[in-house]
Structure 1
């Protein structure tokens, strides 16, 4: 590819994607709303742009072959706060991408699009939407947006329903963990698979306790390597007894399935900010 665009480049996951993405294109254009993202990699440029402003984001996509769209508010917030970056921002990416002739958009969707399903149901990629929050609703909206733009306009997209890409320090993560190397493989397969149409795949490592089924997405060639079971003994030794009446423990969305709408889900979690530094 000549040009690849990465949104959300200043985020934790974006920080791990920047370097490997430069190997897939002549020019990686990273974008976010911060002033600076640190030292740039060879072949990388940075453009500050607000996803919610079409006049800012559209020029960034001009001439791009593909977009890796990881930009968003990554927590539950009141709907009004999510509307711009998470809803309007997605529309702007798809509409600007279509007008610019982009071939494919790779989107960081989330398990929270189906977060109210029980983990014991072992859902596949065709599970119906059951968002656990306004944040999850934005993921449902963008998945449906991607399907519509494929059906009506032929713009391909791969929607990565990431479960939890963070250090394994709780029992939920024994099933939901996506390691950073597996994240990179997942995004790479979403980019280099010759034809994807509209696709959904769960972003999860090769965990013994994985609660989702990627069988119908096997054509994407994603074969995760890491397994959270190596952390199981330590995590389970410190775990509290399971409360089977608690949706935060029984549903895919974890704490997001329990909090009130508009209230932070991340505040209930112990996410370590191990962002890659440049």
Structure 2
């Protein structure tokens, strides 16, 4: 059991899912976000409000930590200045504070959007070159390269989890390949923490879907073995799905809707607006 784990982004949807599983892996869990507080703190959990763009605040949160699970960031496309402060400067402060405080490993919520402009017909592995689809995806490229640099020059281990579509269920045809179930997210993060050594690693955050468009073989040493499969939802989803357009990057690229959203504009808002019109 680890002595202390820090979880950033604890007030977010995915961060909230991880609080209890992480608390079971350590004696002390420190959670942080911009929110003034969290409800229903666990017996070994302490919450500290912190701005990840401020190194001095992050330094205090990291003191005495063994590992950091970094989910704190804007989780959508946004204007450049917002992405710069939250996702890029915030990544730097996390890795720099981890180095200064002697943290062993950073487990990072990266994204498919770091490689979102690759065609889905390319069955890519974890060595595929960066090909971001948005400023948001570009920030994930930066953080992955930062993780690589801090491993090579400062010995901080990292596991960069390129998360796809992490939802409770499967609601569209794209997700038949890209779905990451909530239980599999917990399995993935747990594997990233409990694996004895990782160096600098990249792993796809997907479930065991029949239609998965990426290859996780190079990350098998992490011991992540997903158990859920989106195919059980295929009859319902495909019966409702519109035909895909082979000339449309949204249908043909790994990044899906983010492959066509204008730079700086919310991809999530675009998806919601379409749902309302439908």
TM-score of Structure 1 vs Structure 2, range by shorter chain: over 0.9
The aligned runs of 1:1-16 (5 Å cut-off) are 1-16=2-17
The aligned runs of 1:50-129 (5 Å cut-off) are 50-129=51-130
Shift of 1:270: 5.2
**Number of matched residues?**
271
Question: 1:274 aligns to what?
Answer: none
Shift of 1:56: 1.2
Cα deviation, 1:137-190, whole Å, max 9, x if unaligned, reads 000000000000000011100000001101311111110000011000000000
Shift of 1:268: 3.0
Question: 2:195 aligns to what?
Answer: 193
Cα deviation, 1:95-114, whole Å, max 9, x if unaligned, reads 00000000000000000000
CA gap of 1:11–1:176, structure 2 versus 1, over 3 A, is same
**Whole-angstrom distance in 1 between the partners of 2:57 and 2:205:** 30
* Greater RCO structure (CA 8 Å; 6+ sep): 1
**Whole-angstrom distance in 2 between the partners of 1:220 and 1:125:** 13
**Whole-angstrom distance in 2 between the partners of 1:196 and 1:150:** 10
Alignment match of 2:234 (pick from 222, 232, 235): 232
The aligned runs of 1:1-278 (5 Å cut-off) are 1-166=2-167, 167-269=169-271
SS in 2 for 1:14: helix
Ranges of 4+ aligned residues in structure 1 off by more than 4 Å = none
**Whole-angstrom distance in 2 between the partners of 1:270 and 1:225:** 29
**29-38 or 96-105, larger mean C-alpha shift:** 29-38
List gaps (5 residues or longer) in structure 1: 272-278
List gaps (5 residues or longer) in structure 2: 274-278
SS in 2 for 1:269: helix
TM-score normalised by structure 2 residue count: 0.96
How big is the alpha-carbon RMSD for the aligned residues of Structure 1 and Structure 2? Answer: 1.0
Q: Is the 8 A contact 2:37 2:48 kept in 1?
A: no
Question: 1:275 aligns to what?
Answer: none
SS in 1 for 2:5: strand
**Whole-angstrom distance in 2 between the partners of 1:123 and 1:270:** 29
